[in-house]
Amino acid sequence: MSDACGCGSDEPTVAGQESGESEGREPERLWEVSELRAAAVAGVLLAAAWIVGWVDGPAPVQLGLEAVALLVGAWTFVPSTLRRLAKGKIGVGTLMTIAAIGAVVLGEVGEAAMLAFLFSISEGLEEYSLARTRRGLRALLSLVPEQATVLRGGVEMVVAPGELRVGDTMLVRPGERLATDGTVSSGRTALDVSAITGESVPVEAGPGDEVFAGSINGNGVLEVRVTSTAEDNSLARIVRIVEAEQARKGAAQRLADRIAKPLVPGVMIAAALIAAVGSVFGDPLVWIERALVVLVAASPCALAISVPVTVVAAVGAASKLGVLVKGGAALEALGRIRGIALDKTGTLTRNQPVVIDVATTGGATRDQVLHLAAALEARSEHPLARAILAAVDGHTPAADVEAVPGAGLTGHLDGRALRLGRPGWIEAGELAEPVRRMQSDGATAVLVEADGQLIGAIAVRDELRPEAAEVVARLHRDGYQVAMLTGDNQATAAALAAQAGITDVHAELRPEDKAALVGTLRTQRPTAMVGDGVNDAPALATADLGIAMGAMGTDVAIETADVALMGEDLRHLPQALQHARRARAIMLQNVGLSLAIVIVLMPLALLGVLGLAAVVLVHELAEIVVIANGVRAGRAQPLPSAPPDAAAPAPVDAAAVRA
């Protein structure tokens, strides 16, 4: 999750903990944030007090309204500040508390109430900018079936996944999910492993092959020897990584607190020294009063409110651009990023395999090969089938179609016996070289046979998004280091990376490998991970910043990430980075101005040049300036036009791809 915490909050919220806002739900709307509700009440009371004073009403009534406003505003940060102090932790809330007390001691209850009112607004805005419902881990756990079939003593038994033991033989029928990791002992099939590796094309599995929890069995019956318990399988490890990394991020401090850490004790020590030394060499009452004015002068009101205002403005503008940014820490981190790790499937690619090449032999034409293949695939839901069917204008379903697990399909059309399947089950013969070339281009090759005669080979590949190369080129121009991470094989990864203009390629990675690699990249430069699936969740959580492709991504990717690109246009990525850099620059401007105000006011208060009223006036003017500057972060330009070739991509000639 985002690594921010409120100035006055007790502890940062981490994965699995409840927000201080409510017992079981984080706020989704402004009026659901308790700090903002308290600020509204305090504001009304202060306005009423001002009106009473303006009309020369009873002084006790005005003082009472100011006192109640102070109590309401202080409720949002004083209790948590005291709890933090009890644990030896200080922050902006500490100094705000002392400043409010100092103002009360000086008899300026109204000014103390104003400080509490402004700070409660900053607390509420920060809470609102961070509040997001996190349901991602449930999406992971739902990949495990509620029951599994196991063979014990030659008898089939249905058990809960938690009852599986290492060494058990698990029976997995077509369409079922694997309950845990294991090794295939008998049977062949095509497994949908997208939840584990992100691979877009189902993977053939047979005896001796390792299979993972959450994978969906294709059309064959498998016997799988269990190699890990439900508590230690692939999905369980993903959950542990996500929880650990979210906890790490949740413990970090936000920008204002990082600055306040040395500022607050410095101001407190300075005020104490002013009171002590001044009392020795002068009138104690005068110097104690000056020390308290110095405390008020040093109260970082502008600092406290400037960052949340900038965050809300920038996050709101980003949402209009189709970019969801989860809070100030995420926005600040996005502006610091210098390295981008891109997942391949569904991020750089469409996750929609298409036919890119057809090789023929025996006098057959390209159309004949595709139509015979489409006849066999007419009623299949296999991703390869959808790609082949999309490549023909029309087709006649074959008769007597049968699936050969782990191999392909057989059937009849117009009296001809047809076969379609992987190389090895059908001999490539004179098409061996074209098939090898297809595979080196990162495509999946299937062979087509009619009446025992090989007639062609079809290459299917998940193609790049049309804007991918443009986006990578822009990232490079902007000074970002770009790497591609994927669970696909090395040939597929290398071919598509070359098209996209990426030279740093890491292939055949499992979720744990992606997370470990991102951890390594983070040691070199601030790194963001961009992904779209469950398999990307650990890497998204491990990175300095996780960015999910929201429109295509799973719940866990969106909820684990700090930023989500809600559309399918990858050009939102460099746009979001540019927007965040500008917003972060505005944040730093506000922080610099806020600190400058404190630095200037403190000596003037110390020398008695400015009294409490003048100090508070300067603070309030500074707040207006930083708020106005922060609002500038709400300006953002939409993308100029739709991505090139936004329609479905046409088949690509393999020779052109290789060139």
* Side chain identity, residue 379: R
- Which of the 8 DSSP states describes residue 517? H
Crossing angle of helices 572-606 and 284-298, rounded to 10°: 170
Q: Are 318 and 576 in contact (CB under 8 A)?
A: yes
Cα separation, 151 vs 259, whole angstroms: 62
Cα separation, 495 vs 95, whole angstroms: 57
Q: How many DSSP H helices and E strands does the chain contain?
A: 23, 21
Cα separation, 140 vs 290, whole angstroms: 59
Cα separation, 192 vs 172, whole angstroms: 13
Nearest C-alpha neighbor of 558 from the set 233, 326, 348: 326
Measure Cα distances from 405 to 173, 213, 385 in Å: 12, 20, 15
- CA angle in degrees (0–180, nearest 5) for 562-239-27: 45
167: left (phi over 0), alpha (psi -120 to 50) or beta: left
CB atoms within 10 A of CB 14: 16
Cα separation, 43 vs 436, whole angstroms: 73
Cα separation, 279 vs 136, whole angstroms: 59
Cα separation, 317 vs 463, whole angstroms: 32
- Which of the 8 DSSP states describes residue 633? G
Phi, psi for residue 525 in degrees, rounded to 5: -165, 160
Q: Are 232 and 211 in contact (CB under 8 A)?
A: no
Q: Is the dihedral of CA 411, 414, 417, 419 positive or negative?
A: negative
Question: What would the two tokens of residue 270 be?
Answer: 């300075």
* Side chain identity, residue 506: H
CB atoms within 10 A of CB 56: 8
Cα separation, 139 vs 499, whole angstroms: 33
Residue of 10, 168, 192, 343 with catalytic role:
343
185: left (phi over 0), alpha (psi -120 to 50) or beta: alpha
Cα separation, 6 vs 81, whole angstroms: 10
- Which of the 8 DSSP states describes residue 489? -
Q: What is the secondary structure of 588-603 as a DSSP string?
A: HHHHHHHHHHHHHHHH
CB atoms within 10 A of CB 273: 11
Q: Is the dihedral of CA 28, 307, 579, 554 positive or negative?
A: negative
Nearest C-alpha neighbor of 587 from the set 248, 308, 180, 295: 308
Nearest C-alpha neighbor of 444 from the set 399, 476, 491, 390: 491
- Asked if 393 is an active-site residue, the reply is no
SS3 224: strand
Cα separation, 622 vs 262, whole angstroms: 22
Positions annotated as catalytic residues are 343
